Amino acid sequence: MDKPIYTFLAGPDCFYPDFEEVKAQKQALCKQYGLTPLPNEEFPDVMEPPVTSDKVCWMNIKRLERCELVFANFKHFRGSEPDAGTVWEAVYAYAKGKKVYAYYDEEDMITAVDKYYGPVTWKEETTPDGKVIKKAYDKDGAFIEDWGKMVNLMMTGTFPCICGTLEDALELAAKDLGLKKISE
């Protein structure tokens, strides 16, 4: 038998009322690629009452330590940016040498800011060499990066971040890691 590839599904899904259904669907997708999502029967989530923020934090760190692969749901959350905890989990895993794949729901940062934080204002500016360019600014007057991705360049520059779904990220990981999709 092949060694299991433990997989951590990071994201803000746990905050929504349909979490258990979404978790089951995402775990089933991972299993179609031969992955073993955490938590599972071998490594269940077990916390002695009372449940505290510290216990939840360290339970997730222990799961990140166990996994080899992380899929991070970077979709917008309470604004135009991804959930801070999810970003932390993805970066922690990357720093620990884990393979990380992130997916998000808007084509680029300007679109996300305009839609979920907006409005975006465009201003013409002259570069030092005399060229006139248009730059985007958020409602607070802060310049918006325009690198063609929804998330910050520090993430897109270190691990794959794609506009799409978990299944799209799984397909990318399958190509990168030589995984084969198996029957359901």
Structural domain contains residue 67? yes
Per-residue pLDDT tens over the stretch 115-152? 999 899 999 999 999 999 999 999 999 999 989 999 99
Q: Are residues 43 and 125 in the same domain?
A: no
Q: Is residue 51 part of a domain?
A: yes
Are 168 and 131 found together in one domain? Answer: no
User: What is the distance between the alpha carbons of residues 42 and 44, in angstroms, rounded to a whole number?
Assistant: 6
Domain count, the chain: 2
- pLDDT tens for residues 91-116? 999 999 999 999 999 999 999 999 99
Residue 73, domain extent: 6-108+149-177
Q: Could you tell me if 74 and 91 lie in one domain?
A: yes
Is 132 inside any structural domain? yes
Question: Which residues does 130 contact at the CB level (< 8 Å), separation at least 6?
Answer: none
Residues 116 and 38 occupy one common structural domain: no
Is 1 inside a domain boundary? no
In sequence order, which residues have a C-beta less than 8 Å from that of residue 84 and are 6 or more positions away? none
pTM score of the predicted model: 0.92
Within a domain: 183: no
- Output the pLDDT for position 39: 84
